[in-house]
Amino acid sequence: MLQGKQEDRPPEKCYGCGTPGFIRAKCPNCTTGPKAMSSRFEYFEASSCFVTTAPVSTVHLRVNGIFGKACADSGSSHSIAGETLYTLLKDEGAKFRNGTMCISLADGQRSMEDVLITTVTLEIEGRKFYQELIALPNAKRNKTLLGTDFLKSQKLCWT
């Protein structure tokens, strides 16, 4: 009798997309993409002396083909290549030009800094964009940020 009840049950299907024979966690349509890959750069740093509860908008992307993560930061006017991404881009042969910028931090401190500027190809969810990135060669452990320059140029609404 128990066996008969199991046969009457409808076949398994993914609740994400409806693909028969799969549960969502193992569905080939719902689990492909950036989550299965390991990133070579990212914005996040765990530290025992710094804890934040502020939500962070993580973006999985490719920069010149290098997979990683960035933070969409509506408080940053320019997109920044973090230390690790800057090193990877340099190693891949990206061309940088010299510049100087007045850097304003969230606490109000301002300083003139030497920067390096490059244009990269960003790929997010299959869409490709050209984007200027600022590298701060003297910065250590800084994060990769997509600033309002990117959000505005792509006409993205970020709330």
| Number of domains forming the structure of the chain | 1
Give residue 82's pLDDT: 95
What local confidence, expressed as pLDDT, does residue 1 receive? 46
pLDDT at residue 54 in the model: 61
Q: Tell me if 117 sits within 8 A of 96, measured CB to CB.
A: yes
Q: How high is the pLDDT of residue 17?
A: 77
Single-letter code of the amino acid located at 117: I
DSSP sequence for 58-76: EEEEEETTEEEEEEE-TT-
Instruction: Using DSSP, state whether 8 is helix, strand or coil.
Output: helix
Residue 34 lies in a domain: no
CA–CA gap between residue 19 and residue 30 (Å, rounded): 9
Residue 118 forms part of a structural domain: yes
State residue 6 phi and psi, 5-degree precision.
Answer: -65, -35
Centroid of chain to Cα 113: 25
Sign of CA dihedral 119, 123, 129, 131: negative
Query: Is residue 112 included in any domain, yes or no?
Result: yes
Within a domain: 149: yes
Does 99 fall in a domain? yes
Could you read off the pLDDT of 100-123 as tens digits, one per residue?
999 988 788 999 999 999 999 999
Q: Is residue 51 assigned to a domain?
A: no
Using DSSP's 3-state secondary structure scheme, residue 125 falls into coil
Domain range holding 88?
58-153
CATH number, domain containing residue 90: 2.40.70.10
The per-residue pLDDT for 93 is 96
- Pick out the chain residues at pLDDT < 50: 1-2, 34-36, 43-49
